[in-house]
């Protein structure tokens, strides 16, 4: 691959190289968590010197933020089908809200790479990027958040836009916190397995997220009714 990528002079060639970097990083995320994805290993796998990779993405984090944007859009595309299938439009509002919460929790749980990227977003991925990349990332994130809020309101129109956006923001914060707690270190897993009293702290990601989203939606709806 190194010979193939000796020169990239045209925009088309640059696009091909960027795509190769993104695809290689995505494949790595299928094998390892975000924390273990290194620029050195990415460079080796894609067949480029690290300095050449940095010509297309200013840092490892910039690559991962672009993959986060792609994964977020894929989630939205999935929900376009999953939400109508899960929610009975004629059901009472709280039932519809619970079905939206369950569908969103299931969709996120089925996307471990997306959840890992979300959980690393603020603490890691946004820490080693330029102002320009950060601005592009935030514009993308806002667009995805409002698009998700719109999809929620299609099935729970009792929420106004502001509360739908608040729900999405809360959902992302819960997912950010729940994901690492649901995937503890080997040492913590060993403790849970050896001491049943401590295992009470272990959480199931899908259950914790679904229950939190149910409470959040029902609370927003209750406040809206008053």
pLDDT in tens, 87-119: 999 999 999 999 999 999 999 999 999 999 999
Mean predicted confidence (pLDDT) in 77-83: 98
Q: Who's near 18: CB < 8 A, 6+ residues apart?
A: 56, 57
Q: What is the pLDDT of residue 167?
A: 98
Quickly count: other Cβ atoms within 10 Å of residue 79's Cβ.
21
pLDDT at 1 over 50: no
Question: What is the overall mean pLDDT for the chain?
Answer: 93
Q: Which pLDDT belongs to residue 7?
A: 53
pLDDT at 3: 43
- Which residue has better confidence, 1 or 138? 138
pLDDT at 160 (0 to 100): 96
CA distances to 10, 52, 54, 56, 194 from 14, rounded to whole Å, are: 6, 11, 13, 8, 53
pLDDT at 61 over 50: yes
178 and 205 Cβ atoms separated by less than 8 Å? yes
Kindly state the average pLDDT of the residues 147-153: 98
**Could you identify the residue written with the tokens 């060639």?**
13
Q: What is the CA radius of gyration of the chain?
A: 20
Residue 10 confidence (pLDDT) above 80: no
Alpha carbon of 222 to those of 97, 123, 145, 163, 210: distances in Å?
12, 33, 22, 11, 18
Q: How confident is the model at residue 9 (pLDDT cuts 50, 70, 90)?
A: low
pLDDT at 225: 80
Q: Is 2's pLDDT higher than 80?
A: no
Tell me if 92 sits within 8 A of 221, measured CB to CB. no
Give 29's contacts (C-beta < 8 A, 6+ positions apart).
37, 67, 113, 116, 117
Other Cβ atoms less than 10 A from the Cβ of 24: the count is: 21
Question: In which band, very low, low, confident or very high, does the pLDDT at 183 lie, cut at 50, 70 and 90?
Answer: very high
Percent of the chain with pLDDT strictly greater than 90: 90
Q: Is pLDDT at 5 greater than 60 in this prediction?
A: no
């Amino acid at each position: 691959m190194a010979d193939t990528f000796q020169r990239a002079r045209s925009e088309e060639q640059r696009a091909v190289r960027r795509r190769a970097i993104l695809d290689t990083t995505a494949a790595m995320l299928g094998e390892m968590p975000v924390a273990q994805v290194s620029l050195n290993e990415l460079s080796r796998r894609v067949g480029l010197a690290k300095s050449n990779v940095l010509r297309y993405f200013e840092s490892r984090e910039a690559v991962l933020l672009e993959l986060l944007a792609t994964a977020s859009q894929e989630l939205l595309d999935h929900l376009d089908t999953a939400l109508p299938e899960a929610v009975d439009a004629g059901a009472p509002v709280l039932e519809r809200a619970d079905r939206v919460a369950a569908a969103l929790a299931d969709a996120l749980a089925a996307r471990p790479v997306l959840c890992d990227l979300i959980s690393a977003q603020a603490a890691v991925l946004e820490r080693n990027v330029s102002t320009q990349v950060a601005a592009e990332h935030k514009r993308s994130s806002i667009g995805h958040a409002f698009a998700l809020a719109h999809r929620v309101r299609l099935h729970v129109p009792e929420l106004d836009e502001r509360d739908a956006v608040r729900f999405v923001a809360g959902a992302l914060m819960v997912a950010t916190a729940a994901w690492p707690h649901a995937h503890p270190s080997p040492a913590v897993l060993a403790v849970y397995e050896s001491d049943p009293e401590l295992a009470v702290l272990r959480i199931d990601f899908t259950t914790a997220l679904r229950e939190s989203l149910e409470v959040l939606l029902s609370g927003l709806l209750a406040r809206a009714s008053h």
